[in-house]
Amino acid sequence: MTAKESRRIDDLATLKAFGHPLRMKLYRALYVARTATASQLAEQVDEAVSLISYHLRRLADYGLIEEAPAQGRDGRERWWRPASEGLSFRDEDFRDAPEAVAAHAAVGRLSFEQRSDLYRSYLDAQSGWAPEWRGASFSSEYLARLTAGQLAGLGAEMHELVKRYEELGRAAEEAGDTEGRENVALHLYGFPFRQ
């Protein structure tokens, strides 16, 4: 697997290792930063460097992150990066045992809670953003009647669209176009429900 591919987590041990609240926050912070040290990540999540180092090593033990080439002057500090372009967890990989079903559901709930916290933080600070950012931000709900196949197709198309924009942003940033660029979170959910 290259760093440009998303990694599909299909084993219970890796899912459980990732499913720790601090590890999930660290992974997200590292994904955004692309590379960081334990000290830099500790500042972002307001935890002790030793605790962050421990959790980074656990993520590395399961191949979720890896050491990155040193970027600072101090060669003693370890730099980390995500080992893949993202992570996915699919229901069909965790149906075979009650423990697997429970772990998959727990990681899904924790992920949703952390995403909700991120959006709440934006709402709380919304007035501090420039008008163009407030105008560009959106929140929508679409209620459609689809088949399972149509929902899967919609998800795949949305994934491709988001990846295209993400790649455009990264390419521009790598070319030096950093003016007016911010981290942007986009959370999408597609699921069946009954009234």
Phi-psi group of 152: left, alpha or beta (phi > 0 → left; psi -120 to 50 → alpha; rest → beta)? alpha
Average pLDDT rounded to a whole number, residues 106-129: 96
Average pLDDT rounded to a whole number, residues 57-75: 88
pLDDT of residue 76 exceeding 90, the answer is no
pLDDT of residue 1 exceeding 70, the answer is no
Average pLDDT rounded to a whole number, residues 135-159: 95
pLDDT for 5 equals: 85
Of 180, 194, 15, nearest in space to 87 by CA: 15
Condensed to tens digits (0 to 9), the pLDDT of residues 77-86 reads: 899 999 999 9
pTM for the whole thing?
Answer: 0.87
pLDDT of residue 164 exceeding 70, the answer is yes
pLDDT of residue 56 exceeding 80, the answer is yes
- pLDDT bin (cut points 50, 70, 90) of residue 9 is very high
Average pLDDT rounded to a whole number, residues 15-41: 96
Which tokens in the block code for residue 34? 């692309």
pLDDT for 75 equals: 67
pLDDT for 3 equals: 55
- pLDDT bin (cut points 50, 70, 90) of residue 2 is very low
pLDDT for 27 equals: 97
Which tokens in the block code for residue 9? 């987590």
Percent of the chain having pLDDT more than 70?
96
Average pLDDT rounded to a whole number, residues 148-160: 96
For the chain, the DSSP string reads: --TTSEEEE-SHHHHHHH-SHHHHHHHHHHHHHSSEEHHHHHHHHT--HHHHHHHHHHHHHTTSEEEE---SS-TTSPEEEESSSEEEE-GGGG-SSHHHHHHHHHHHHHHHHHHHHHHHHHHHHGGGS-HHHHHH-----------HHHHHHHHHHHHHHHHHHHHHHHHHHHTT--TT---------------
Condensed to tens digits (0 to 9), the pLDDT of residues 183-193 reads: 999 999 898 98
